[in-house]
Amino acid sequence: MHYSSALQELIDQLGRLPGIGPKSAQRVAFFLLKAPADEVKRLATAITEAKANVSYCPRCFNFSEHGAECVVCQDPKRDTKFVCVVEDAQDVMAIERTHEFTGRYHVLQGAFSPVDGVGVDQLRLKELMTRVSEESVSEVIVATNPNLEGEATAALLVKYLKPLDVVVTRIASGLPVGGDLEYADELTLSRALAGRQAVAED
């Protein structure tokens, strides 16, 4: 079925969002059209303001606002000896929901996958090495996803961090192989963090 050009454009744009298929895009589009104008305007404003104001933390590359350090890096109660390395900012939120980790984070902004054009230079690896050297970090906890790319990234981290005289651990595999960190429940993540193990270079 063909809709008016404005409606079809809305459906097409919604369909480009991750996890939103054609039918879901239609449902969201119809919901928005039926919703009060002020609610739709608030949503549009929130999207526009987030895009304009949210950037990356200059220390850990988590999301932050106005170019400042993120709330985790600004928190003086955080234990600076521990740095948990994750692939993306949503993984930080997943681990924070467990209330188990009290250190800081480092977001690589991707996973090592040369086939997809993601090499060492595309990851925030050099920045991590600088932090380990300058911030008296004693343990780096690798919390990349338990899939092929995540494991390759973990191996890469061990290789680069080994000369820096820092303990490198990997979160325990209470997480399903092939899964994503952001979809894991709090209990599974808590157990994975608690059961982390030292990582040895092959």
pLDDT of residue 46: 97
The CA radius of gyration of the chain, in Å to the nearest whole number, is 20
d(CA 104, CA 73): 7
Using the predicted structure, report yes or no on whether residue 172 has a pLDDT greater than 90. no
pLDDT of residue 17: 94
Using the predicted structure, report yes or no on whether residue 95 has a pLDDT greater than 90. yes
Using the predicted structure, report yes or no on whether residue 11 has a pLDDT greater than 80. yes
* pTM, entire model: 0.78
Strand duo 139-142 + 167-170: pairing: parallel
Using the predicted structure, report yes or no on whether residue 85 has a pLDDT greater than 80. yes
Give the residue among 135, 88, 78 at the shortest CA–CA distance from 111.
88
pLDDT of residue 65: 93
And the tokens for 39?
């609610």
Give the residue among 123, 179, 172, 125 at the shortest CA–CA distance from 147.
179
pLDDT of residue 116: 86
d(CA 19, CA 15): 8
pLDDT digits 0-9 by tens, 56-70: 999 999 999 988 999
d(CA 84, CA 92): 9
Give the residue among 141, 124, 135, 122 at the shortest CA–CA distance from 58.
124
Neighbours of 8 (CB within 10 A): 13
Residue type, 74: Q
User: Could you tell me if residue 20 is left (phi over 0), alpha (psi between -120 and 50 degrees) or otherwise beta?
Assistant: beta
pLDDT of residue 174: 60
